[in-house]
Structure 1
Amino acid sequence: MQPESDRYLTLDAMRGFAVMGILAMNIIAFAMPEWAYVTPIAYGGLSTENQISWIFSFIFIDGKMRGLFSLLFGASMMLIIERAQAKGESAAKIHYSRMFWLALFGLAHYFFLWFGDILFLYASVGCIAFRFRNWQPERLIKWALIIFGLGVLFWGLQMGGLQILQYFATQPNADADMVARYDEIIRSNDFDLNVADELALHRGAYWPIVSEKLSEWYTPLAAVLQSIAETLPLMMIGMAMKKNGFITGEWDRPIYILWARKLVPGGLIASAALAGYLVAVDYDLINSLAVFLAWSAIPRLMLTVGYAALLILLIGRISHQKFIKRVAATGQAAFTNYLGTSILMTTLFYGYGFGFFGHVSRIALWPVVFAMWALMLLWAQPWLTRYRYGPLEWLWRSLARGGLQRMKR
């Protein structure tokens, strides 16, 4: 069992690994047209290095770090609720105030920095997850899996139906009405790669990018509806893991090993099989989107929880090393690191900055990722040695509590 003093180190270090890992996938959306995240045919072509880079990211990273971040959000939410209750404060007032300001940060992030915001999603779903704060861990996990399953069913029916339509519409002597319906779908905006327009937009000035997002003001709300059936269950599982001690490292080491063995190999094999399927069908849009939205969901969940177990084992083993202290500091300042990354990456890639959008290959983006990881690890620990919070953590806390918080240690 992990000693009491290490419990919050475990949470912070896991959050540090997660915020660093998220960049490894987000970098594609910062640097390339949006569809490039889903399929390599959208941008960069099918060169060996482009395919290998996409396949590696899909199998090992895509959605898993975001999932881990969602688990940690639920666990941290539960921790804040428990602390408020222990102090005799109103947990509801503190929680909803935090979510209100987080939602505003998220909207500002989306409209004025980068379209890939998750803060508004987390704030919205966090308001729902709060309703389950008094549930026992078993009930939280049970209903999380039910909601998750319903989400997989919803997307599976939609995307599976499209895959079936595509199969029959592309057969010799296919029904003319079916072919017409398929062609209509393929030519719709939903499957428009829109590469030329995206390149022109993001290589241009700042205000047209903002105007484009303002014209589609409903997108953050749509993202909540699209992602709630995955994000809410992950938060609920994180809440359960805080309650039962899993995510704070309180379980015996052999149990974490058992869960890692149960989930990680199976999740990786299933993800690799899906990647192989997409290679076989030349990454066509419908199959790629079906895998992205529906069929990779269960392997993603398996790997999210399996990675959590592996990270807890790793952190427990090297908890006294300097490196893990830096990762934990990166996690303590995850909010600043997340938004700071958006500022630096959009400045690097967008036209109003250095203008590298669409000019850097997938594999060449990895040095940018490594450099950003190094920056996160270098600044956070010295800052937190002098100050109690990261800069944006302090601002968020001060706004949520209605007064300036003490910053210096």
Structure 2
Amino acid sequence: MNTAGKQKRIQTLDILRGFALLGILTANMASFKSPFFQLQSLPGASPSFPSDMVDGGVTFMIDWLVTGKFYPLFSFLFGLGFFLFYEKLKEKGMDADRFYKRRLAFLMGTGLFHLLFLWSGDILHTYAAAGLLLLLFIHRSSRTILTWVVVLVCLASVFIAFLTISANMLTASETGYEEQILTSAAEAEAVYSTGSYLNILHFRLNEEVPLVLSNLVLNVPHILGLFLIGLYIGKKEWVQRAAEYRGLWKKTMISMLTAGGLLSFLYAALLHDLLPVPLWLADGTAQGLNMLAGPMLMLGFVAFFVTITEKQLFSSFLRPVAAAGQMALTNYLLQTLICIFLFYGFGLELFGTIGAASGFLITLVIFSTQAVFSSFWLKRWRQGPLEKLWRHWIYRPLH
């Protein structure tokens, strides 16, 4: 395995991480700029198509191509990264289990700080909790891992669909439920748009964080299934030896982009009430369907980037994206700091005033700035600041 090949494969993974950062911010923008957290349990509470058709079109495109597709990409990369990290330590004769648990401890601490003090949409604490279960699979066969992938992802899809449909049926008949949700959303908008940091912190700790933490038991099995996709592909060495599996990746790209794209389009159509299906049923079906469509489309994206980065021209063009991905943890938290400053009351107070199209433009500006910043940073330092701190924590002397 030559050095050039290693460098190219590492850059491919960094490009994927950078692409995932862009997708995550695009999906999260709705939660940063509006009371999406409060409205998500009420089908149709937000207009499917706002009066501005540009905003409507952007909303539909985001739901079709972004929502539910990029946390699976981060999850896939986490599972693959776990395999590469673990195998590297084993080759060096180091205690892989212990160092990996340190890695997770740092991630959990960072995630809980992010969740408690900055923003309710944190995913890092969930990754840390699910990541511990990966140790149960590192020595299992590829076939066993693939079986668990299918079981966990399919069960999550069916369970979420059943849970959402059942909840929608119950709440549809509950007097005053819609008014209660809309009142909660109005309260959130008032607090986030004009409140101080302490006002917003108090609101989040009482109204949002407990629900996020209680959902861990629902989220961990699904995230574990997505991690196992990365572990499976890592064990098969399809990324490490991408040139040898060029044909497989091209077939995967075509099949997953087609199937995942079609299923995800159906998800968006159901979510936006474009089909003759009762809203309570359409919403629940859509949520379950996207649990399948998201990982499929994600694999299509992975195959696309693995394929195109075989060409030096594309690798060079995407180098700033790779730089952002190389500093993924730092940039993920920076996205939160930038957005809460832009939208919250202790910043520019834009909460509740930005439509989907403007939100997407803000997303592009933020990510482009991060890509440029990361490129300049990595010319002077080998790692991002949080990545360096993370590495120091992991490899400090064992006692």
Same fold (TM over 0.5): yes
Alpha-carbon spacing, 1:337–1:4, altered in 2? closer, same or farther (3 Å): same
Of 37-46 and 245-254, the range deviating more from structure 2? 37-46
Cα deviations by residue, 1:168-224 (Å, 9 ceiling, x for unpaired): xxxxxxxxxxxxx74228717995573211111111111121112323553343232
Are the aligned partners of 2:129 and 2:220 in contact in 1 as well (CA < 8 Å)? no
SS in 2 for 1:279: coil
Are the aligned partners of 1:348 and 1:354 in contact in 2 as well (CA < 8 Å)? yes
1:141 equivalenced with 2:146 (yes/no): yes
Are the aligned partners of 2:308 and 2:314 in contact in 1 as well (CA < 8 Å)? no
Of 61-70 and 381-390, the range deviating more from structure 2? 381-390
Take 1:225 and 1:319, find their aligned partners in 2: how far apart are those partners? 44
Take 1:197 and 1:240, find their aligned partners in 2: how far apart are those partners? 45
Equivalent position of 2:206 in the other structure:
215
1:86 equivalenced with 2:91 (yes/no): yes
Take 2:176 and 2:281, find their aligned partners in 1: how far apart are those partners? 12
Aligned residue pairs total 388
Are the aligned partners of 1:31 and 1:349 in contact in 2 as well (CA < 8 Å)? yes
Equivalent position of 2:354 in the other structure:
360
**Which of the numbers 247, 258, 279 marks the counterpart of 2:239?**
247
1:103-118 to structure 2, matched below 5 A, reads: 103-118=108-123
Are the aligned partners of 1:16 and 1:331 in contact in 2 as well (CA < 8 Å)? yes
Alpha-carbon spacing, 1:104–1:242, altered in 2? closer, same or farther (3 Å): same
**Which of the numbers 291, 302, 306 marks the counterpart of 1:297?**
291
Structure 1 residue runs without a partner (length 5+): 167-180, 404-409
1:100-249 to structure 2, matched below 5 A, reads: 100-162=105-167, 165=169, 182-184=172-174, 187=177, 194-203=184-193, 204-215=195-206, 217-248=209-240, 249=242
Cα deviations by residue, 1:309-347 (Å, 9 ceiling, x for unpaired): 112112222466433222211111000010011001110
1:42 equivalenced with 2:46 (yes/no): yes
Q: CA deviation at 1:43?
A: 6.3
Cα deviations by residue, 1:64-112 (Å, 9 ceiling, x for unpaired): 1111110001111111111111111111111111111111110110111
Take 1:113 and 1:284, find their aligned partners in 2: how far apart are those partners? 37
Take 2:40 and 2:319, find their aligned partners in 1: how far apart are those partners? 32
Equivalent position of 1:9 in the other structure:
11
SS in 2 for 1:310: helix
TM-score, structure 2 length as denominator?
Answer: 0.89
Equivalent position of 1:310 in the other structure:
304
Take 1:86 and 1:341, find their aligned partners in 2: how far apart are those partners? 36
1:259 equivalenced with 2:252 (yes/no): yes
Alpha-carbon spacing, 1:209–1:190, altered in 2? closer, same or farther (3 Å): same
Structure 2 residue runs without a partner (length 5+): none
SS in 1 for 2:372: helix
Equivalent position of 2:329 in the other structure:
335
Q: CA deviation at 1:241?
A: 1.0
Alpha-carbon spacing, 1:354–1:366, altered in 2? closer, same or farther (3 Å): same
Q: CA deviation at 1:285?
A: 6.6
Take 1:296 and 1:127, find their aligned partners in 2: how far apart are those partners? 25
**Which of the numbers 50, 60, 68 marks the counterpart of 1:63?**
68
Of 185-194 and 252-261, the range deviating more from structure 2? 185-194
1:371 equivalenced with 2:365 (yes/no): yes
Equivalent position of 1:390 in the other structure:
384
1:402 equivalenced with 2:396 (yes/no): yes
Cα deviations by residue, 1:101-125 (Å, 9 ceiling, x for unpaired): 1111101101111111000011110
SS in 2 for 1:316: coil
Alpha-carbon spacing, 1:310–1:330, altered in 2? closer, same or farther (3 Å): same
Are the aligned partners of 2:16 and 2:325 in contact in 1 as well (CA < 8 Å)? yes
Are the aligned partners of 2:78 and 2:230 in contact in 1 as well (CA < 8 Å)? yes
Are the aligned partners of 1:21 and 1:65 in contact in 2 as well (CA < 8 Å)? yes
Are the aligned partners of 1:271 and 1:299 in contact in 2 as well (CA < 8 Å)? yes
Alpha-carbon spacing, 1:69–1:207, altered in 2? closer, same or farther (3 Å): same
**Which of the numbers 102, 110, 118 marks the counterpart of 1:97?**
102
Equivalent position of 2:266 in the other structure:
273
Equivalent position of 1:54 in the other structure:
59
Alpha-carbon spacing, 1:143–1:368, altered in 2? closer, same or farther (3 Å): same
Are the aligned partners of 1:79 and 1:242 in contact in 2 as well (CA < 8 Å)? yes
Take 1:213 and 1:134, find their aligned partners in 2: how far apart are those partners? 41
Amino acid at match of 2:354: V
Of 253-262 and 42-51, the range deviating more from structure 2? 42-51
